[in-house]
Amino acid sequence: MKITEYMGNKVCTMDVNIEGYKVKVEFMFSPNHPEILDCSIRIDGDPPLPLRAKIMEMAEKETETQFLALKEKAIK
């Protein structure tokens, strides 16, 4: 996971492997607001549509998990 800064917001980029596909997840959040401002999920390859939906759902859950962990660190 890599965290950078863009226009005063934090951008978290991570590469995960879901169902055998490389998935790049990038989300932006503000240190001042407890919410995800923007999110991008890119799947490397061309999985069938039902599998793509499952991968996207799992990636969204991973994004939320990582965001909550980052938020907890910021509070402590």
pLDDT per position as a tens digit, 11-51: 999 999 999 999 999 999 988 888 899 999 999 999 999 99
Closest to 19 (Cα-Cα) out of 49, 54, 65: 54
What pTM was computed for the model? 0.85
More confident residue, 52 or 70: 52
Distance CA(49)–CA(67), nearest Å, equals 27
In contact, 13 and 4? CB cutoff 8 Å = yes
pLDDT for residue 50:
97
pLDDT for residue 75:
55
Range of the domain at 18: 2-75
In contact, 16 and 23? CB cutoff 8 Å = yes
Residue whose entry in the numeric block shows the structure tokens 């996971």: 1
Number of domains in the chain: 1
Q: What is the CATH number of the domain that holds 68?
A: 3.30.390
The whole-number average pLDDT for the span 3-8 is 91
In contact, 23 and 44? CB cutoff 8 Å = yes
